[in-house]
Every structure is written in C-alpha cells, then in structure tokens.
Structure 1
Amino acid sequence: MTKEHFFDLAQLAYTEILTPTLEESLHFFTEYLGMFIVDRTEKSIYLKAYEETYHHSLKLTESTEPGVGAIGWRAVSPQGLQRRVKIIEEAGYGIGWTTGDQGYGETYQFKTPSGHVMELFWDVEYYKPLETEKTSLLNRAQKRPNRGVPVRRLDHINLMVNDVDKMSQFLTDVLGFKMREYVRFENGKMASSWLSVSNLVHEIALTLDPTAETGRLHHVAYWYGYPQNLYDVADLLKENGIFMEGGPGKHGISQAFCLYVYEPGGNRIEFFGDTGYLIFDPSFEPVVWDLKDIPGKGDIWIGAPLPPTFITYGTPIREVKQPPVPAPIMQS
C-alpha cells in the first residue's frame, strides 16, 4: 500500500538576508528590482514584491558580514503547524516559540542539521496598499511599480550544506517536503538536491559546501515570469555596476530561465524567468542524475561557462577546505 503523504507546509514565505551595506542593498532591491518598503526598524528593513500578499518576503538586516538569517515557512493550517512542531521537537531540532516578526504571528523556531535557522507559522498580516498603490485588478495585491524591472514574488532559496543526504532526509522526514531531483556521486551520496511542498519543482535547493562550514547561503531567488525580463534587468544591472556571475541562461535541472548576480552586500541573488516545470502527479518519482551524465544534459545553456566561484562562493564568505563539486550541477 502506498504511504499517504501530508504536506503540512504551504510555501516559502520570507527570507532574511544579512548585509554589511544595508542602504546599498536596499537601493538594489527597491530601485532595480522594484520592491516596496513595508516597514523598518533600527537594524532591519522589510520589503515585498508587487504580486505578494503578505506583509513582506524579504527582511534586510544590518550585519558585519553577508549571509542568511531566519527562513520562514507558512503552514497549511493551525493543525498542520502543530503537527510539524511536534515532529521537529521529537527529532530534537527545536528552539522554541516566539511572538513572531513584523507581519507574522506566533512562530516556532528551529535549527536544521545544516545550521540554518528556520521558522514555521500560520497567522499572517496581509499587506494593505496605499491609495497610490491600489490597482483596478481585483486579483493583484498592488500596482506594478514604475521603477526598475520589478520582480513578482519570492521563488526559492538555495542553501549550502555540508551533508546533502542528511539535510535532504531532514526536509522530507521532519518537514514533509518531497524530493523532486537530485544529483549523486558514484558512491551514491548526493551532491545536490531540489525539494518542494507544492507543484513547483522546488522551493528549496541544497548545494554541497566545499568549505565544510554550516549555515551558509548559496542564493535567494525571485521570480519574473517572462524570460525577456532577465535581459531587461541584466541591462539595467550591468549599466549600474552590479556584478553578474552567470546568465541569462536556462537550467537543465528544473528547466527554468535564470540570471545570477551579487547584491551590494555580497549575497548571490537569482532571477527566474519562468517557473521551470510544474509537478501535478501525486506519485511523481524523483529525477536522479548521475554526476557523469550532467555535462550536456543537466547543465545549463549560457553565454559562457559558470565561473569557479559559482561552486565555492557563498555567504558568509569562508575558505574552501575540500574539493568542490564540478560547476554544471550547482544550479537552481
């Protein structure tokens, strides 16, 4: 008999990016990517994209070095939240309940095997647009902004981890994700993986960290919808001195259009030009890539090969301590 799968998590709701250049990072996200400032405190600024309905999807926090702070996931219901909290506590990863951040209610915080801090919640505050932001479209949160090349929503996060197998198992067994694709070495160990709790091919990806450190960020991805937007934002960023690491191009794994850049604080940001493919099959089996099969199949078409930094660079910046995985598999 097939084991019934329960998705207690609904979506990736927000990420917190740490930056040593808060105002410069803010300029990047608001003036080039068209995001809105929702709120700010002494050390943090809260931002959202124009198609997002919650209070914020991005929290920029001033820090001595770049990296990732808390990663927030909304549950499918109050009951789903409680079920997952119980499982997390039984597995020994829990930190405890908090009153929640701006725009989000009571939140359960925990630390993953990879050293990343995550949060689960149910209660949310929906964004109320200003009069000047209101749109006649009843099914859109606010007007499309008239600055930069506006991103539409948060898509996914890619974390650097020192054990892809262990972290993947945590996501599936403890948080209820489904494995969608992964790349394996000859010995069967995973080199990278892509998982989701929705029809998207992934809301989270895992990349083997060549520094053997914990808690590092590979990238945060925002969604555009139209591949042409990647060419438009590439022009804009290039003319304003923003470093573009790779793209525009297309992934083999996940099949989405992409562009990778570094925001001024040093964190890698990816832009998606479409959704890749969607998964509706409830009995979908993970796509397994062997490392030897990646060149020409799982890699991406792009104007030039991805540089070595794409495998070694993450935030916070650390020294490489072990041989990195070949570049083509580190995608999405």
Structure 2
Amino acid sequence: MAAPLGDIAHLGHAELLTPDLEGSTWFFTEILGLTETKREGDSVHLRTFDDYELTSLVLTGHHTTGIRRTALRASSEDALQRRVRAIEESGGSGSWVEGRAGTGRNYVTTDPDGHEIGLYYETERYVAPDHLKPGLKNQPQAKPRQGVGVRRLDHVNYLGSQVALNADFIQHVLGARPTEQIQMNDGRIAAKWLSFGNKSYDIVYTEDWKGAHGRLHHLAFATDSREDILRAADLCLDNGVKIETGPHKHAIQQTFFLYVFEPGGNRIELCNPLSRLILDPDWPLVTWTEAERAKGQAWGLRTIESFHTLGMPPVD
C-alpha cells in the first residue's frame, strides 16, 4: 500500500452548485431526508442524520450546475501537514483559507483536472437540538421522519479529461488506494475507483467524453438498505423528480443504485454499498476490460447513453 494511506480519514462534505436553490433544498430535505442547519448568503447547509460533523452538503445558488469544493478530513494535524507538503513537493500548489461548514482552516488545492479540494482537520461535531435528539447516545441525530433518510454522503464521481493522471494524484499524493478500474482496448484508463479507508471507494474518476475539465458526474448518498432505494424511486416518481436509470446493481463495486436529477439539474445517486468493505490490506486492483463493460450492469441492464454524455456543468 502507498505510504500515506490513512492520512486522509474520509470524505467530509461537498459544495454543490445549483441554479434552483429552493428546488434543490426541497429535494435534499423532503426526498432524501437531510436536515437544514443554516443559511449563509446564497448557501444552504445540510446534514445527513448519521454524520458526526456539522455539515454533509452545502448547496450554493449559481448560474449553472456542478461541484465547487470537495472537503476531505485528515486523520490528524500532522497528517494534514504531511499531505500539504506532499502536494507542494509534487509540484502542486494551494493556499490556506478560513474554514466553512463547521471546519477549521482548509488547505485548498486542485487535482490535475481542476476540481477544487479542501483538506482540513479541525471540525465541529454536531449536537442535536432537543427535537432531533436520538434515542441512542451513539447516534448523532434522530432518523428523519420524511423522505428516504439517507445515512451519509458516500462518494463523489468526477469527470476527468485524463483519468489516470487524476487518479495518480489521489493515490500517490493524497494517499488513497485504487480498488477497481476500467481499461479500454487501446490501454487508456477510462474510469478508476479509489478509497481512503475500508470503504470500497470514496472518489471516482470517469472519462469526460467532452474533453472538458473540472466537471461532476454525480454525488452519491448511502442508504441503509436496498429497500430504501426502491422507496426513493417511488418518491421520485410521485414527486416529479427525473429518474435517469435504475434501480439496479452495478457490476463494478456491486453497488445497488438509483440515479436521478435533482431540480437544479445535478445527477444524484442513491446507493447501498454498506455491506461491502475492502478489508484486505493487499487488495489486488480489479481491472475490467472494454468487452466486459459492454455487457452492461450486473443483471444485464445496458448502461444508459446519457450516463456517458451528460456532466455538470453542461458543455456544448
């Protein structure tokens, strides 16, 4: 394993841009069941019920869709400083900025494709108000009474102009390990899944067929069970939320999934990967060929065309 594995503890939160702030807020609170904690300028701060930190998602009003910053929590102050040195020694750059969303100062940098990444250690732990206090003291917040009740922000899937270059940055500079990948017949890597811990993946890079930079494919939220995803499909159907594909099961990572577009236009995945962990410290990278991926998903569903052509923000 790469020497710095463990310096990044986990995916903290993400900032999502939306041209329909109220519509997006409705989706994440009423359909997914997140809790709104505060509003700050053009941003709404939201949290999943099982997140120990203050914030899981920041929605920011903008003229278009996409992702602004992905925040990653380091495992200690020393680990944070090690990753900052690794970034700068690799030829990268960044700057220290005041933290937001309950975090301490952030070292903000970018991957080779231009996706903004903030590294931090200090964080504010959530303390539930009386009406949201849980029945069990080892849970930060009571389960929501509305919507799906997603448990956590699970992963971020970026679109990248060069998958291998971006994945190398996450692996060798930030300290993740790759778990699965797609290799095309010409040898190029078209997608790669990377994990900072025992989860099967936290960050994914998928080839941007438009050749653009810094775009988002989707944000994913984990559910307690597959049945929650079936419930989500019905809730979306009943409330006019566009379903792109699923429910179904991925071949790669074996994730049960549903993809929808929230009212602002960003692709959101509801996923259930909770039972699959990578416990093997010598996990061999799983490589899928172009022919294997042409077979579709685990149970034969063909990958929908828009999955390859639509990213956020849109480009001509």
**Farther-moved stretch of structure 1 (264-273 vs 84-93):** 84-93
Q: Separation in 2 of the partners of 1:190 and 1:276?
A: 27
Q: Does 1:267 align with 2:258?
A: no
1:4 Cα shift?
4.6
1:322 is matched with none
Query: Which residue in 1 is equivalent to 2:253?
Result: 254
Q: 1:311 aligns with which of 292, 308, 311?
A: 308
Displacement of 1:243 in angstroms is 0.3
Give 1:328's aligned residue: none
2:112 is aligned with 1:113: yes
Equivalent position of 2:298 in the other structure: 300
Letter in 2 for 1:158: N
Unaligned ranges ≥5, structure 1: 320-332
Question: Counterpart of 2:233 in structure 1: which amino acid?
Answer: A
Task: Report Cα offsets for 1:45-97 as digits up to 9, x if no partner.
Answer: 10001111101010000000000010000001111000000011122322200
Map 1:2-151; keep pairs closer than 5 Å: 4=3, 6-151=5-150
Report how far residue 184 of structure 1 moved. 0.4
Q: Write out the 4+ residue segments of structure 1 that deviate beyond 4 Å after TM superposition.
A: 2-5
Q: Distance in 2 between matches of 1:192 and 1:102?
A: 30
Q: Deviations over 1:188-225 (max 9, x none)?
A: 21010100011111001110001111010000000002
Which ranges of structure 2 fall in alignment gaps of 5 or more residues?
none
Alignment-mate amino acid for residue 149 of structure 2: P
**What is the identity percentage for the equivalent residue pairs of Structure 1 and Structure 2?**
37
Q: May I ask how many residue pairs the two structures share in their alignment?
A: 316
CA distance in 1, matches of 2:147, 2:277: 28
CA distance in 1, matches of 2:148, 2:269: 14
Instruction: Give 1:94's aligned amino acid.
Output: S
Q: CA deviation at 1:7?
A: 2.1
Deviation at 1:305, TM superposition (A): 3.2
Q: In structure 2, how many angstroms separate the alpha carbons of the residues matched to 1:25 and 1:300? A: 31
User: Following the alignment from structure 1 to structure 2, what is the Cα–Cα distance between the partners of residues 177 and 137?
Assistant: 33
Query: Matched residue of 1:301: which SS?
Result: coil
- Aligned equivalents of 1:46 and 1:181: distance in 2? 32
Inter-partner Cα distance in structure 2 for 1:64 and 1:135:
38
Q: Which residue of 2 aligns with 1:152?
A: 151
Corresponding residue number in structure 2 for 1:189: 188
What secondary structure sits across from 2:234 in the alignment?
A: helix
Q: Distance in 1 between matches of 2:162 and 2:74?
A: 26
| 8 Å Cα contact 1:154/1:221 also seen in 2 | yes
Give the Cα–Cα distance (whole angstroms) in 1 for the partners of residues 3 and 59 of structure 2.
39
Give the distance between the partners of 2:304 and 2:293, measured in 1 at CA. Answer: 17
How far apart are residue 294 of structure 1 and its match? 2.1
How far apart are residue 237 of structure 1 and its match?
0.7
| One-letter identity of the residue aligned with 1:53 | Y
Query: Per-residue displacement from partner, 1:226-276 (whole Å, max 9, x unpaired)?
Result: 000111111011111100001000011001100000001100000112326
**TM-score of the superposition, structure 2-length normalised?**
0.97
Q: Secondary structure at the match of 1:311?
A: helix
For residue 86 of structure 1, give the secondary structure of its aligned residue in structure 2. Answer: helix
Equivalence for 1:176: 175
Equivalent residues of 2:181, 2:193 under 8 A apart: yes
Look up the SS of the partner of 1:170 in the other structure: helix
